[in-house]
Chains A and B, each alone.
Chain A
Amino acid sequence: AQKVTQAQTEISVVEKEDVTLDCVYETRDTTYYLFWYKQPPSGELVFLIRRNSFDEQNEISGRYSWNFQKSTSSFNFTITASQVVDSAVYFCALSTGGYNKLIFGAGTRLAVHP
């Protein structure tokens, strides 16, 4: 069975702090993709990153970075020097092929305070 677990329900930080959002996944497939989406208070879902199971290189995009570790089935997301605009619900998702069905975690609500 495929499953995505985001154990942190809510995180609260003060602006400029670094914060890491955890994502642990379960799948028996050897080929799969992992995604992160952001849902700001306005409600839309914004794609952040896609990573395939064969590429364990960390990725950095501005203040965002992702750490993929197959050994621990984790795909964690770090925001460096957080800003109020980073306040949102962040979803980790898994796709194991077939018909590109996304299996979402429960989401982590991040609140960044000034």
Chain B
Amino acid sequence: DTAVSQTPKYLVTQMGNDKSIKCEQNLGHDTMYWYKQDSKKFLKIMFSYNNKELIINETVPNRFSPKSPDKAHLNLHINSLELGDSAVYFCASSPTGVYNEQFFGPGTRLTVL
């Protein structure tokens, strides 16, 4: 009965490759997010979608492209991976509306060699 799930949990790849991380939530929430946690544990929002519409797009390289096929899914595609993309990526979801608690997935640890 996982609320927010991500696949894969670990991803090891070479520089220059393209990879995707998938996220699904079964909480019935309308809003989903991607956060990046760097090696120093610093967490920063990347994107947010509400009902499949992009509503937050922080200063993220164009190589990162989120896609929301429906409101229960938010995928993250990364082109031309770089060493600096190595991080843990967290997906989260919340009900629509401001100030709501966000439920986080288990994270995907991406390592770029």
Q: Which residues of A contact B (CB under 8 A)?
A: 32-33, 35, 37, 39, 43-45, 47, 50, 52, 89, 91, 95, 97-104, 106-107, 109
Q: Are A91's CB and B106's CB within 8 A?
A: no
Bound Cα distance from A32 to B14, whole angstroms: 42
Query: Given the complex, which residues of B lie within 8 Å of A101, measured CB to CB?
Result: 45, 48, 56
B103 and A99: CB pair below 8 A?
A: no
Query: What is the minimal beta-carbon distance from B85 to any residue of chain A, in angstroms?
Result: 18
- Given A43-B88, A100-B31, answer yes or no on A91-B43 (Cβ-Cβ < 8 Å): yes
B41-A89 in contact (CB<8A): yes
A104 pairs with B44, CB closer than 8 A? yes
Task: Identify whether the interface residues of B are mostly helix, strand, loop, or mixed.
Answer: strand
Is A100 a contact of B107 with CB atoms below 8 Å?
no
Q: Which of the listed residues A98, A99, A100, A101 has the most CB atoms from chain B within 10 Å of its own CB?
A: A100
State which of B99, B105, B106 has its C-beta within 8 Å of the C-beta of A50.
B99
| A33 and B90 contact, Cβ closer than 8 Å, known pairs A89-B41, A100-B31, A101-B48 | no
Tell me, rounded to whole Å, the shortest Cβ–Cβ distance linking B35 to chain A: 8
- Contact call A99/B107, Cβ cutoff below 8 A: no
Asked whether A102 lies within 8 Å of B102 as measured between CB atoms, the reply is yes
Q: Is B69 an interface residue (CB 8 A)?
A: no
Nearest A residue to B103 via CB reads A47
B106 touches A44 (CB 8 A): yes
Q: B102: which A residues are within 8 A, CB to CB?
A: 47, 100, 102
Give A32's nearest chain B residue, CB to CB: B99
CB distance A45 to B101 under 8 Å?
no
Residues in B with CB closer than 8 Å to A43 are: 88, 106-107, 109
Q: Is the CB of A95 within 8 A of B98?
A: yes
Whole-angstrom distance between the Cβ of A4 and the nearest chain B Cβ: 10
